[in-house]
Amino acid sequence: MYWGDTMADDEDKTLSLRVAKAIPSDVGHGRARVPFDNDLGLKPGDVIEISGERNTAAIVWRCRPQDANLGVIRIDGIIPKNA
């Protein structure tokens, strides 16, 4: 996962997380539930880039409390297919 303040950033900011199944209410909305205890300074509504064979975007959403320390990102099946 990549997130940058602006296109002019010299330094890439990355975070590696395991992918977990999305919450049913998030399916089709392009949301990525990410733990906020990281160095990226993410806020709800930020757009992140998810890297795979290709890159795709998702909207940051608050993770569930039980997911906070698991190191997972919850995304629906469309986002990984795009990446």
The domain ranges of the chain are 2-82
- Class of domain 2-82 (CATH, top level): mainly beta
The pLDDT score that the predictor gives to residue 20 is 92
In order along its 83 residues, the chain shows pLDDT tens digits of 544 444 445 457 888 889 999 999 999 999 999 988 777 888 899 999 998 889 999 999 999 999 988 989 999 988 888 88
The pLDDT score that the predictor gives to residue 11 is 56
The pLDDT score that the predictor gives to residue 56 is 92
Cα separations in angstroms, 37 against 7, 15, 24, 73 = 24, 11, 24, 13
pTM for the whole thing? 0.76
